[in-house]
Amino acid sequence: MNTLLQSFRKNRSLWTTLVALLFLFVLAVLGLIDQDAEGGARYKNVVFTILRGFSTGSIIFGLMNVLNMAHGAIFMIGAYVGWTVIVRPDTAVDTFTPIVLLASGFLLAPIWHKSINKLKLSSRVSRLWPWLSLAFTLVVLGFFVPQYPITSWNLGSYETTPVNYAFAASQGQVVVPEPKLFQGISPLLGLAGIILGSILAGLTVTGFATSRRANLAGAAMQTESSWKPLIYFGLLVFLGLLVFSFNTPISEFLYSLDSTWLFIIAILAAVITGAGLGALIESSVIRPIYEWHMYVLMLTMGVNVIIVEGVRSIWGAPEFTMHRPSVFAGTGEGCPAESLSALIEFKCSTISVLGGRIRTYNEIFITILGFIVLVAVWMLLQRTRLGMIVRAGVQDSEMVKALGINVQKIFTIVFALGVGLAALGGVIGAPSTGLTTALGESLLINMLVALAIGGLTSYPGSAVGALMVGLLQQFVIKYGQIGINIPFMEEPFKPSPPLVPAMTVLLMVVVLLIMPNGLFGRSK
């Protein structure tokens, strides 16, 4: 009791704000309770709106980590990659090999690093050769990558657009397209060309990295010899070639799978793609300018545009849908489920509670997953060494370095994890949001608002912010349907849909006016 009183004294404005928000929340809840025929209270709207708010909040929350304007775009990538795995597994399998092969060469970087240091090049040479290597890389990759056969859709004719494939898949009609093969060059040459290009790319990147440090005295690097990179490289190449040689059976197997299993694979694919893209973005554009936050914001905004346009050119501009996994799609006999056992037996898409229907996927699955992610990230930050280093590194990365910790590597991992979570949000959200190239944008705004409300520096704060934004939006939508009775007005006031984003921004403005650092943020 005493400590509670103390914390109240210390954070008076926080508590006042929270109480005021709680008061408004209670008011909003009371307004949603309606009367049934016998005059008893019905809580249907309340429960549903809160649940929907939670699930909206969970989607928003999945996005946040570093202030990164490309997060929304990665969310979208997650959705599109997930869709591809579910609707066109053959395309996903076809793309797997070249991507893995392209990534493999970068694993050799430590070996290049060592060899370059042994050569002791003059500073002019060490500044020049990476450019030559880059040109060579581009020539090799530019020639071989387009030759690689990927069975895909064709945006040109309606029969073969993603829109049509999505529709067919949701109807359960699956036609496996004819697989594409290497044409003009032999498969062996094609694969070898991509591996060569990737090795060259790794060399180029190492070259640029060492020339950046070349102006320091000595630049003596540690020379521990290790063959690990070579082994990892070999494993990755082997994996890529393995998938290549069993391409058709793997595709056929995936087509025969139940959509729930495909959904799980899609989640994995989306998260790995997101994390990989995150690591790439962090190490290429963000790392050199970590200290200049404004530039990080601007650059990631640019990356956002690139990704959005990239998605548009690959999957096309029109909107399409992703069907729900079969465990959440049951209709007909026994549905909506009246009990838990019925839900499990008939895999209903809805359950009936309090005389209404709750969608199992949108309102229950997403909410639960959101909370799992929330708790998992919290545990990671609070209970693991990685989290400890992150918390310390955010405050003073120089001191963490001085303790002998490669803080840069940790930041890359964390960034990749955060971006992977965004992709997870995308693939999980896709069945309810649909796939559109504007997906990222609207979520990005919600995310920034949630971050600002919760306070930029606080993880629990951002969770609370996300929840508030989610709840607020759902309440505004609900009141848009039933209207608010305002005294002295003839008609009840119905907030129109455009008011939904406006209200979230209004909430942010109010909170920031009272508490400029957000609810739980700390002033720097």
Q: Which residues bind another protein (CB under 8 A)?
A: 213, 215-222, 385, 388-389, 391-392, 394-396, 398-407
| Shortest distance (Å) from residue 400 CB to another protein | 7
| Shortest distance (Å) from residue 395 CB to another protein | 6
| H-helix or E-strand spanning residue 308 | helix 293-315
Q: Which of 305, 367, 426, 405 is nearest to 63 (CA)?
A: 426
Instruction: Give whichever of 400 and 435 is closer to another protein, judged by the CB atom.
Output: 400
Q: How many CA atoms, within 13 angstroms, populate the side-chain half-sphere of residue 104? A: 24
**Distance between CA atoms of residues 500 and 511, nearest Å:** 17
Instruction: Give whichever of 401 and 494 is closer to another protein, judged by the CB atom.
Output: 401
Instruction: Give whichever of 222 and 496 is closer to another protein, judged by the CB atom.
Output: 222
Q: Report residue 199 as tokens.
A: 């090795």
Instruction: Give whichever of 312 and 522 is closer to another protein, judged by the CB atom.
Output: 522
**Distance between CA atoms of residues 329 and 379, nearest Å:** 32
Helices 439-454 + 459-482 axis angle, to 10: 120
| Shortest distance (Å) from residue 219 CB to another protein | 4
Instruction: Give whichever of 297 and 388 is closer to another protein, judged by the CB atom.
Output: 388
Angle at 209 between CA 205 and CA 211, to 5 degrees: 115
Instruction: Give whichever of 219 and 305 is closer to another protein, judged by the CB atom.
Output: 219
| Shortest distance (Å) from residue 407 CB to another protein | 7
406 contacts: CB under 8 Å, gap ≥ 6? none
Classify residue 136 as exposed, middle or buried by CB count within 10 Å of its CB (0-12, 13-18, 19+). middle
| Shortest distance (Å) from residue 401 CB to another protein | 4
Residue 369 in contact with residue 56, Cβ under 8 Å? no
Q: Residue 493 — φ and ψ, nearest 5°?
A: -80, 125
Instruction: Give whichever of 214 and 239 is closer to another protein, judged by the CB atom.
Output: 214
Residue 419 in contact with residue 275, Cβ under 8 Å? yes
Residue type, 338: E
| Shortest distance (Å) from residue 214 CB to another protein | 9
379 contacts: CB under 8 Å, gap ≥ 6? 387
Residue 380 in contact with residue 387, Cβ under 8 Å? yes
| Shortest distance (Å) from residue 137 CB to another protein | 26
Question: How many residues would you count in the chain?
Answer: 524
| Shortest distance (Å) from residue 388 CB to another protein | 5
| Shortest distance (Å) from residue 197 CB to another protein | 29
Q: Residue 226 — φ and ψ, nearest 5°?
A: -150, 135
| Shortest distance (Å) from residue 517 CB to another protein | 15
102 contacts: CB under 8 Å, gap ≥ 6? 141, 145, 194, 197, 198, 201
Instruction: Give whichever of 35 and 395 is closer to another protein, judged by the CB atom.
Output: 395
Instruction: Give whichever of 293 and 391 is closer to another protein, judged by the CB atom.
Output: 391
Classify residue 145 as exposed, middle or buried by CB count within 10 Å of its CB (0-12, 13-18, 19+). middle
Instruction: Give whichever of 283 and 446 is closer to another protein, judged by the CB atom.
Output: 283
In three-state form (DSSP H/G/I as H, E/B as E, the rest C), the secondary structure along 73-107 is: HHHHHHHHHHHHHHHCHHHHHHHHHHHHHHHHHHH
Angle at 420 between CA 418 and CA 426, to 5 degrees: 110
| Shortest distance (Å) from residue 461 CB to another protein | 13
Instruction: Give whichever of 189 and 388 is closer to another protein, judged by the CB atom.
Output: 388
